[in-house]
A and B are shown apart, each in its own frame.
Chain A
Amino acid sequence: MKTQKFWLFLVGAVLLVSAVAGMLVFRGRTGAATASIYQDGECIRTIALDDVNKPFSFTVEWEDGCNVIEVERGRIRVAEADCPDQVCVRQGWISNSVVPIACLPHRLVIQLESAGSGVDGVAG
């Protein structure tokens, strides 16, 4: 039977490591170049965010639902979705984060990839 101190230490250490890793991930990198939109694992569209001069939006459909994606120069977001949880909408604009926008009910993922380094560069 381990002592209370042992568990406190262990949990504290894990907490610290995840917090630092989380901060590294969220700090992200600057200079996002392209946004890739994946549906069910397949890339259905890539947008060079830096080349967007006029904001536009489009709809991605999935089975009985859809997401409205809005694009501006250098950033992208899900403006509307008819999924129940609305998590992707509330995440708002992403521009330089390595954290992708994910709409799990519609299997939709929007990922930003800057030239040369993907998520692997951060994880490794």
Chain B
Amino acid sequence: MNVKKLTRLALLTTIALIIFMVEAQIPPPIPIPGIKLGLANIVTVYAMFALSPGDALAVLVCRVFLGSVFSGQLMTLFYSMGGGLLCWLVMLLLRRLLSKKQLWVAGVFGAMFHNVGQILVAIALTRTPGLIAYLPVLLVSGILTGAFTGLCAQFLLAQLDKIGQNGGPAD
């Protein structure tokens, strides 16, 4: 890992963390746990497609860990980590299937599997299988917010491509 790459990943983590913290200040519009915009997902999608899966994972794990430390809610660490890892995994699978105009699909499926991961962790922690009842509602919100964040990442990548600053694998 050279300095250029390290700097880029650190910067991405910072951006993701700031987005995450700012979003956490917005009260949730619907009183169901787990529903939110998930704007930090933009960074994950960007890192996954413009850089490499390993880079995306590093940024994701650092952001989730630091995010729960700074927001002071240790419990969210488990939910976000469970969701984040599953989200990363499904994006890894989609990486080869999607063209640059289809990044929004990665956002959608990433968000959906983030929700699935959250629910699974919640069921495991509370030992209440009934929580699965939340899943359809979470999926609907995940699809909508995921399409939005995915589109953001897609436009971001297109713009960066245009000015020749898309990053690409750092040498």
Residue pair A85, B122 in contact (C-beta under 8 Å): no
* Residue from B33, B71, B129 within 8 A of A102 (CB atoms): B33
* Residue from A1, A7, A25, A85 within 8 A of B136 (CB atoms): A25
* Chain A residue with the shortest CB-CB distance to B130: A119
Residue pair A91, B32 in contact (C-beta under 8 Å): yes
Residue pair B133, A122 in contact (C-beta under 8 Å): yes
Q: Taking A11-B108, A85-B33 as contacts, is the C-beta distance between A119 and B75 under 8 angstroms? A: no
Segment from B4-12, B55-63, B85-93, B97-105 that makes contact with A = B97-105
* Residue from A4, A25, A26, A109 within 8 A of B128 (CB atoms): A109
Interface 1/0s, chain A 15-41, versus B by CB < 8 A? 100111110111000000000001011
B137 in contact (CB, < 8 A): yes
Segment from B14-22, B43-51, B139-147, B160-168 that makes contact with A = B139-147
Shortest distance between the CB of B82 and any CB in chain A (Å): 12
The number of residues on chain A lying at the interface, defined by a beta carbon within 8 Å of a beta carbon of chain B, is: 39
A residues neighboring B (CB under 8 Å): 1-2, 4, 7, 11, 14-15, 18-22, 24-26, 38, 40-42, 84-85, 87-88, 90-92, 98-100, 102, 104-105, 107, 109, 111, 118-119, 122-123
Residue pair A102, B136 in contact (C-beta under 8 Å): no
Residue pair B136, A111 in contact (C-beta under 8 Å): no
Residue pair A91, B31 in contact (C-beta under 8 Å): yes
The number of residues on chain B lying at the interface, defined by a beta carbon within 8 Å of a beta carbon of chain A, is: 36
Interface residues of B in 135-161 (CB under 8 A from A): 135-137, 139-140, 143-144, 147
In the complex, chain B residues whose CB is within 8 Å of the CB of A102: 33, 122, 126, 128, 131, 134
* Chain A residue with the shortest CB-CB distance to B143: A15
In the complex, chain A residues whose CB is within 8 Å of the CB of B99: 1
Assembly CA distance A50 to B139 (angstroms): 33
